[in-house]
DNA sequence: AATGAATGAGGTTTCATTCAT
DNA sequence: TATGAATGAAACCTCATTCAT
């Protein structure tokens, strides 16, 4: 039905090929999470995957493609996780709560992956226009929040938000989630439930009429 | 109490030595801000400083020391900027407002420096835990907010905050500020005044009794 | 006399085997001609042949054997083309004319192949003298010219040529032909007829009594 | 007087810098001459120069720049050698003789260098327009011969040459010289004097009225 | 007979660091 | 103090070759 949504460089990939790529991406994520972006060389990734360096080059055109794949898979997984949960809600207030809850749950369940994407994210600025992905991505990630806010305002359930102030709110929520990721990396024993409850409270209060 | 926070190689440093180091740190900041952490090699920094690469190695034991110096100077500048402004306030509500306002003002005035520190922060994972500094740093930066919150609760002006929920609030505020930094890097024409006003509003509401 | 010039791995080769090898050699020639010797990797050749890299390794012991095959096929094709045309001539003067004419015609008709062989020729230096072939080859190619010159002198139709000076003449003619190949590669619209006429004139005059 | 003729990337180069570059270029030439273009890796060149690989990268932006330098130095040396010798001649006939003689002498005295340039030459075709140098170079090298021919025709000392036929003659002479280089590489004991005499004779006869 | 997958050596290049001057 | 020169490790990538299927 909604095929061909994906960029196109999908060509035809054998099952085994896809599995191998997935495995390598997996290892790349682990490696970035464990040793940091800077130290995550192809050699290091290969070592952890117990394969030769050449295998990575065999399956990915270059390092950039591998890293992009991390971001792409993240985005797909994220969207499949978040979207249905939000759509299941009726009121904007519930949507916002679920947005926060499901994002934090997603982070907790995919900590390394999310962390890796954040690590990559800041690199986008550097590149010479090549990694526009980052920016588009950010917009795509903010949009759902802005939509919820707009809906809430429209239904008279949220306090008034001008367009720019809705964006500030959206960014603040997004930053809270990404910041939570970093905190969870630093302190794996963090009480996620509690953290979630608190964030929900904060943004519930701060959007209330 | 707070001795030995600073590396120790403070020993005796001539005026000229200090000036040289400051100049190099300055250039390192600019370089990171402009080309990103990954591309900020000593060679690149030296080129921008119009000095030879060797000079950097002469004044800093190694690259790490230079990067740490960026964080140290940042922290000192930040504290000198923020602390007096907060101390000038009477009520926790005002303190919180001023904390947010002065932080955003500080970011806007020292955008490159703040950005550089954030860049460093996220790359700081090393196998041998060498860059513990960054983490300590984070604690030191959260403390003032937690103190304000505690005070506000104690005076009955803020809603109830348990210790962990105060921390979540503190992190959320901190993340909002750091996130603002990134947004300002991406969009230099951002209306800082407005953004500040919005953040103050958000956190004013969400701490209110 | 001229046995064992060919490597020996001729053994028994099935028809299909020979066809496959021919196809690969063909593609190797095209590849060298189009992307140059340096870029003509087995991968590139395989891609153009629309076969897998492994097939090449299956049919040829190694890359060197494939490249040698290019030279061998060239030599055979060249000889079959040139020899009968010369033998059909009566006088040395005519022979020389036909030698030049047919060589240039051969080049024009097999430009890529001739070019590939020249490319190989110049790269042929190896520490272990493995590609002696090329040198032998050159001798074999010079011989017909030297024979024509000797005949012409013997019949009193050409000016006197000592053995060494006949060799210089032969080399000069040969170099003119190979140089023509390069020029034709650079400028495909070259007027071959005219070029041929000029070369014939030059060497007709310069051998005349 | 005639400064600034050189491309511009000359900037300011210290004496020692120039010496080092010259030494490296020297070694690169030797290496190409001895092991062939294909095997002449930076590692191999460095090994022969008894320096670390990094030194080459320190003095040359990349391999291409090193190789170009070989061609540039060749061209300068060649021109300084040939031009005055030709200009000292009065008649076109003498000029042509001297052109051939001095070119062969130059080749014999700089055999490795000339050979290296020829090796490089054929590679130019490959690159994607980058190494236009080769083509320009060739034109620059043919021009003097064409000028001599034109002069000889104009003075009525040479037989008639149309523009295209003069070019064929020029190419033939040039090819004879380059071919001589290859032959001399293969057979270092070649009698250069004799070879020179023969070539002079050939082209003297073939240009005569 | 053919292929896709994997390997590992080797190539170019970058870079933090050292050192003689 | 400062510099340019040099180093060598390590990064990314290419490629001829091998092998199980």
What 3-state class would DSSP assign to A87?
helix
CB contact at 8 A, C97 and C204 = yes
- If interface means Cβ-Cβ distance under 8 Å, which residues of chain C face chain D? 35-39, 118-119, 122-127, 135, 138, 164-165, 168-169, 171-172, 174-176, 178-180, 182-183, 185-186, 191, 194-195, 198-199, 201-203, 205-206, 208
D40 CA vs E7 C1’ separation (Å): 24
From the list B116, B107, B150, the residue with the least C-alpha distance to B40 is: B116
Residue B13 has a pLDDT of 79
Residue with smallest Cα–C1' gap to E3: C52
From the list A19, A20, A27, A26, the residue with the least C-alpha distance to A43 is: A27
Nearest to D176 among C172, C180, C191 (CB): C172
Residue environment code for D7-45, b if the CB has 16+ CB neighbours within 10 A, otherwise e: eeeeeeeeeeeeebbeebbbbbbbbbbebbbbebebebb
Contact B123 A169 (CB under 8 A): no
Statement to judge: residues B31 and B111 lie in one domain:
no
pLDDT classification of B182: cutoffs 50, 70, 90: very high
Q: Is B100 exposed, middle or buried (0-12, 13-18, 19+ CB in 10 A)?
A: buried
Contact A164 B123 (CB under 8 A): no
Residue D135 has a pLDDT of 55
Residue C52 has a pLDDT of 94
pLDDT at A27 over 80: yes
Statement to judge: residues C81 and C176 lie in one domain:
yes
Q: Does residue C3 sit within a domain? A: no
What 3-state class would DSSP assign to D184?
helix
Statement to judge: residues C163 and C74 lie in one domain:
yes
Contact B172 A126 (CB under 8 A): no
Residues 62-91 of B with CB under 7 A from strand E: 62-64
Chains C and D touch (3+ CB pairs under 8 A): yes
Count of all residues that appear for chain B in the document: 209
Statement to judge: residues B46 and B75 lie in one domain:
no
Cα–Cα dist C122/C135, whole Å: 11
pLDDT at A117 over 80: yes
Which parts of chain C sit beneath pLDDT 70? 1-11, 122-137
Q: How many domains does chain B have?
A: 2
Nearest CA in chain D to C118: D122
- Chain D contacts of C39, Cβ < 8 Å? 126
pLDDT by residue (tens digit) across D96-126? 999 999 999 999 999 999 999 998 875 554 4
- C53 strand E contact, CB < 7 Å: yes
Closest approach of D128 to chain C, Cα-based (Å): 9
pLDDT at B181 over 60: yes
Q: What's chain B's average pLDDT?
A: 89
- A54 strand E contact, CB < 7 Å: yes
Statement to judge: residues B104 and B185 lie in one domain:
yes
Q: Does residue C145 sit within a domain? A: yes
C54 CA vs F20 C1’ separation (Å): 13
Residue A132 has a pLDDT of 44
Nearest CA in chain A to B197: A165
Q: How many alpha carbons lie under 13 Å from residue D47 in its C-beta half-sphere? A: 8
Which nt sits closest to C55, CA to C1'? E2
Statement to judge: residues C53 and C108 lie in one domain:
no
C128 CA vs F17 C1’ separation (Å): 20
Contact A122 B182 (CB under 8 A): yes
Rounded-to-10 torsion of CA D91, D92, D94, D97: 180
From the list B173, B142, D41, D4, the residue with the least C-alpha distance to A199 is: B173
Residue with smallest Cα–C1' gap to E17: B57
Residue C135 has a pLDDT of 56
Q: Does residue D113 sit within a domain? A: yes
- Strand E: list positions under 7 Å from protein Cβ: 1-20
pLDDT by residue (tens digit) across B9-65? 455 778 888 899 999 999 999 999 999 999 999 999 999 999 999 999 999 999 999
- Chain D contacts of C193, Cβ < 8 Å? none
Question: Mind giving me the DSSP string for B66-107?
Answer: HHHHHHHHHHHHHHHHHHHHHHT--SHHHHHHHHHHHHHHHH
Count of all residues that appear for chain D in the document: 209
- If interface means Cβ-Cβ distance under 8 Å, which residues of chain D face chain C? 34-39, 118-119, 122-123, 125-126, 135, 164-165, 168-169, 171-172, 174-176, 178-180, 182-183, 186, 191, 194-195, 198-199, 201-203, 205-206, 208
Place of tokens 């990694």: A131
Rounded-to-10 torsion of CA C52, C57, C63, C64: -150
Higher pLDDT, A5 or A87: A87
For position A89, which CATH number holds? 1.10.357.10
Q: Does residue C123 sit within a domain? A: yes
- Chain B contacts of A201, Cβ < 8 Å? 165, 206
pLDDT by residue (tens digit) across B65-98? 999 999 999 999 999 999 999 999 999 999 999 9
Place of tokens 């004496």: D15
For position B42, which CATH number holds? 1.10.10.60
Residue A90 is encoded by which pair of tokens? 């009726």
Nearest to B38 among A126, A168, A179 (CB): A126
Chains A and B touch (3+ CB pairs under 8 A): yes
Q: Does residue C65 sit within a domain? A: no
Q: What is the DSSP letter of B158?
A: B
Which spans in A110-154 are helix H?
A: 111-123, 133-154
pLDDT at A79 over 80: yes
Q: Does residue A119 sit within a domain? A: yes
Statement to judge: residues B56 and B74 lie in one domain:
no
Q: How many alpha carbons lie under 13 Å from residue C17 in its C-beta half-sphere? A: 9
Q: Does residue A160 sit within a domain? A: yes
Statement to judge: residues C46 and C96 lie in one domain:
no
Statement to judge: residues C107 and C22 lie in one domain:
no
How far is Cα of residue C153 from the mean position of the Cα atoms in its chain?
Answer: 26
- Strand F: list positions under 7 Å from protein Cβ: 1-20
Chains D and A touch (3+ CB pairs under 8 A): no
- Find the domain containing D159 and state its range: 70-207
Closest approach of A12 to chain B, Cα-based (Å): 34
Closest approach of D16 to chain C, Cα-based (Å): 33
Q: Is A11 exposed, middle or buried (0-12, 13-18, 19+ CB in 10 A)?
A: exposed
Statement to judge: residues C122 and C46 lie in one domain:
no
Q: Is B139 exposed, middle or buried (0-12, 13-18, 19+ CB in 10 A)?
A: exposed
When pLDDT is averaged across residues A110-125 and rounded to a whole number, the result is: 83
Closest approach of C155 to chain D, Cα-based (Å): 20
Residue with smallest Cα–C1' gap to E15: B41
Q: Does residue B1 sit within a domain? A: no
Which parts of chain D sit beneath pLDDT 70? 1-11, 122-137
- D41 strand E contact, CB < 7 Å: yes
- D47 strand E contact, CB < 7 Å: no
């Amino acid at each position: 039905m909604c095929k061909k949504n994906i960029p196109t460089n999908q060509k035809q990939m054998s099952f085994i090929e896809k599995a191998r790529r997935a495995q390598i991406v997996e290892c790349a994520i682990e490696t970035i999470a464990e040793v940091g972006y800077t130290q995550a060389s192809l050699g290091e990734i290969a070592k952890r995957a117990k394969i030769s360096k050449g295998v990575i080059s065999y399956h990915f055109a270059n390092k950039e493609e591998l890293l992009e794949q991390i971001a792409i898979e993240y985005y797909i997984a994220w969207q499949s996780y978040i979207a249905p949960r939000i759509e299941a809600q009726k009121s904007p207030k519930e949507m916002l709560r679920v947005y926060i809850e499901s994002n934090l749950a997603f982070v907790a369940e995919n900590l390394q992956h999310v962390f890796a994407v954040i690590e990559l994210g800041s690199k986008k600025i550097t590149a010479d226009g090549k990694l526009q992905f980052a920016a588009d991505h950010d917009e795509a990630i903010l949009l759902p929040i802005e939509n919820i806010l707009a809906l809430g305002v429209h239904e008279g359930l949220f306090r008034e938000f001008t367009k720019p102030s809705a964006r500030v709110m959206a960014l603040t929520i997004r930053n809270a989630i990404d910041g939570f990721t970093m905190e969870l990396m630093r302190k794996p024993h963090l009480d996620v439930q509690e953290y979630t409850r608190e964030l929900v409270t904060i943004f519930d209060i701060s959007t209330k009429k």
